[in-house]
Amino acid sequence: MAKLAIIGGTGLTSLKGLEIVKREVSHTPYGEPSGPLVHGELAGNEVMFLPRHGSGHTIPPHKINYRANLWALRENGAEKVIAVNAIGGIRADLTPGRLAFPDQIIDYTWSRVNTYFEEGLTHVTHIDFTEPYCSELRQLLLEVAEDVGIDAAGEGTYGATQGPRLETRAEIDRLERDGCDMVGMTGMPEAALARELDLCYASIAVVANVAAGRGEGEITMAAIEQHLMSGMESVRRLLETAVPRC
């Protein structure tokens, strides 16, 4: 069985049910990861866990050291990565608390260091990113969601925005015209870096709110936290069954 790593996002800074074996501080050529790697067992299977925003949720999306995070996981043996991402729902069926497994992504971020292939190269390197998520791992997550009765959207295009502010109504209108079904701030460059490292990478996206202009009134952090609480319970149930099958 390939060694599995889980990257926790907003609402998942720790993993309930994870029996911790050790915490390990990693140093990489690209700086420090978001925090120590947590090694443990979930549902009787070895996993690594890394909170993307730090254990205290203090690192904003545009300041995350994505290169260090993925490098540290790979150097510690990870071959598969399940990333948990909080999103805003653009498509009507992506309602708060629901899960989705995106199959495409559009990158609207800027100024983030987004590749390992930039210095000391013997040749210019390009990666195929036609299908940005690992189809094998996505399919497994889909099957498990069906098996355990979790309502989830099986596909969708993730629009990755810079943050940390939320988007304007006009920006969401633009994303929808571009074909985006959901919006988030942490999907890129994480997915591309995983591909550069040959990691099998898939996302469990949790709808934290309806995107700007798709609901009534302002988007509040109180509402986001409430929706994430119910969504993350579904994530934990999904992982408990998925991890032994990865």
Of 199, 221, 223, 222, the C-alpha closest to 83 is 199
- Give the C-alpha separation, 173 to 177, whole Å: 6
Q: Which residue has the tokens 């120590």?
A: 36
Q: Which residues pair with 111 in a beta bridge?
A: none
Count the Cβ atoms, other than its own, within 10 Å of residue 41. 14
Residue 226: in which H helix or E strand, if any? helix 221-242
Output the CA angle 140-155-78, nearest 5 degrees.
Answer: 40
Cα–Cα distance for residue pair 136/113, rounded to 1 Å: 28
Copy the structure tokens of residue 66: 């994505």
Q: Which residues are annotated as a binding site for substrate?
A: 185, 209-211
Q: State the binding site for phosphate.
A: 10, 52-53, 186
Q: Which residue do the tokens 């701030």 mark? A: 185
How far apart are alpha carbons 95 and 113 in whole angstroms?
A: 32
Structure tokens at 26: 């990693």
d(CA 44, CA 67): 29
Residues in the annotated binding site: 10, 52-53, 185-186, 209-211
